[in-house]
A and B are shown apart, each in its own frame.
Chain A
Amino acid sequence: MRITLLNKKGQLEIGIKIMVLIVFLVLLIISLIVYFKFSYVSIQETKDDILDEKFSSLVNVMVNLPELKCSMKNIERECLDAKKLIAFGIILGTEDTIKERYIEDLGVNKIEVEIVYPTLSDELCNWDNHETCKTFILIDGNDEGLKYTTPVSVYFPENEEYKIGKLIITANI
């Protein structure tokens, strides 16, 4: 009778301790999940901040590239030269090594400039239609990724005209 009682008491103690262990582990796992959730959110916020800064700096770099920037009488202006945009697109479309270098340097998938106003057609730009076209493809690459858009002024040197456009950068930063 006494032995049975002792056996039961021992089993009960083991059961309680296993329960305590399980509860402890459950609490530990819950707290780890909560902690990682907060850490993840914090890392995500840092990533978003860096991403935003990177895109802003990328836009700044793009509009200031001498090979794209317009000039009047050799003095740089705050605009993009339509002829340079076409030349840039053609060279990068034909010379893979240069295209790879720009993609690596800028860390982008695709770059295009779209004329917003005045729009005369929906055509892609080339030498023949660059005064009436809509889209200058600078780097024709992968269309996947985040898109960042900023307004730019596009200068047409032949008739000294300006048009409003938007620079569209697609990147996986």
Chain B
Amino acid sequence: MWGLGIVKMNKKGFAVMFSWVFSVLAGIIIFLSLVYFAVQHTDLFGKISEQVAVEELDIAFASLKSSLIGTTLELDKPIKLEFKCGGGTDFEEKLFVNGIAGKTLRGKIIFAPEESNSYKFNIFTLDWNAPFKITNFIFLTDKHYNFIDLPEVLRNKIPDNIKSGTQNIGVNFEFAEDLGTINSCVYGDKKVYYKYDDKLEEYYGKICIGDTNPYPFVGTAFIFAAIFSDQNNFKCLYDLAVEKSKDIAKIYAKKLENIECRNELTKEEVEGLDVKNLYNVGIIAERNDNLLRRGECESLY
């Protein structure tokens, strides 16, 4: 009798236990499902949005690369945009949105501060010509500056919404009579020594941006590069731009081989284009103009 009673109690107890286990299991599954769906709907903590934003920005920059434009990128909420160039063995620029989704910006040269936090970004582009068009430089900023020290001709190239502020850009500009005397920079100083070449119709000079070595440049666009980028990005993008110019020079040198009336313009001159050297850039421009003046000759570029 006793023995039978215990069996009965045990079985009943097991049934009670089972409903508790069932409830707990079902509860855990439902809870996990809800958490899962919540995470899905909160966009994986924003990762998909950031990834899409990076892709969209990359596409937008690609379109800007081939056109001269001034535009404003306005978003629903503030984001942190980071542009990081260099750091590894390969010189490449990466874009981060809110610290994640780093994407290499292939084939685009974007001069921007290393970090900007805003919902509104001003973007404009300028051709870099030395002497032929090499690429478009893209400039991005979330700030509004005054450009009092900048020569008016250059100031006019900047979209109005960027130059509507009161903040100083923190770059000194100096017309340099003799660029040969500028061989070093004051550490930490941001300064542009410039001159204008009437034949090329471009500014040239030397840029001091943080360290003691000046960066020689030919092409007005480089002045804006110094204004809108930080030291690290500038150095890295400067090298990228120079590399790009060499690639294009090789293509034009190949084209020159098949221009019959090339006369004094030689393949070696074009192939050896040094975009840091005004004389070298100027001589190609002058000889190309001579080809055009002949009437029946085609242009190299």
Contacts and interface: CB of A to CB of B under 8 A. Distances in A.
What interface size band does chain A fall in? 35 or more
A120 B183 CA distance: 59
B25 A21 contact: yes
B241 interface: no
B135 interface: yes
B251 A84 contact: yes
Contact of A106 (B55, B106, B292): B106
A41 interface: no
Contacts of A90: 254
B252 A87 contact: yes
A13 B17 CA distance: 12
A35 B107 CA distance: 39
Interface stretch (B59-67, B171-179, B186-194): B59-67
Contacts of B301: 66, 71, 74
Interface stretch (B7-15, B150-158, B209-217, B224-232): B7-15
B interface majority secondary structure: helix
B146 interface: no
Contacts of A17: 18-19, 22
Contacts of B69: none
Contacts of B56: 50, 53
A25 B67 CA distance: 56
B26 interface: yes
Interface in B1-55: 4, 7-8, 11-12, 14-15, 18-19, 22, 25-26, 29, 33, 37, 40, 52, 55
Nearest to B255: A87
A91 B55 contact: no
B108 to A, nearest CB: 8
A161 interface: no
Contact of A158 (B33, B65, B298): B298
A41 B135 CA distance: 38
Contacts of A74: 288-289, 292, 299, 301
Nearest to A71: B299
B181 interface: no
Contacts of B101: none
A66 B106 contact: no
Given A83-B258, A91-B250, A101-B247, A10 B106 contact: no
Contacts of A86: 254-255, 258
Contacts of B107: 61, 104-106
Contacts, number: 115
B248 interface: yes
A14 B134 CA distance: 78
Nearest to A106: B107
A54 B248 CA distance: 24
B19 A10 contact: no
B63 A57 contact: yes
Contacts of B80: none
A169 to B, nearest CB: 13
A18 B259 CA distance: 85
Interface in A42-95: 46, 50, 53-54, 57-58, 60-61, 63-67, 71-74, 76, 83-84, 86-88, 90-91, 95
A66 B134 contact: yes
Given A66-B248, A71-B299, A91-B251, 11 more contacts: A3-B8, A6-B8, A10-B14, A10-B15, A61-B66, A67-B248, A67-B252, A86-B255, A87-B252, A87-B255, A127-B258
27 contacts: A3-B8, A6-B8, A6-B11, A10-B11, A13-B15, A13-B18, A14-B15, A20-B22, A21-B22, A25-B29, A28-B29, A32-B33, A60-B63, A61-B63, A64-B66, A66-B132, A66-B248, A74-B301, A76-B133, A83-B255, A83-B298, A87-B251, A101-B247, A102-B247, A104-B106, A105-B106, A158-B298
Interface of B: 4, 7-8, 11-12, 14-15, 18-19, 22, 25-26, 29, 33, 37, 40, 52, 55-56, 59, 62-63, 65-67, 106-107, 132-135, 247-248, 250-252, 254-255, 258-259, 288-289, 292, 298-299, 301
User: Which 10 interchain pairs have the tightest Cβ spacing?
Assistant: A105-B107, A64-B66, A87-B254, A87-B255, A157-B298, A66-B133, A57-B62, A105-B106, A10-B11, A67-B251
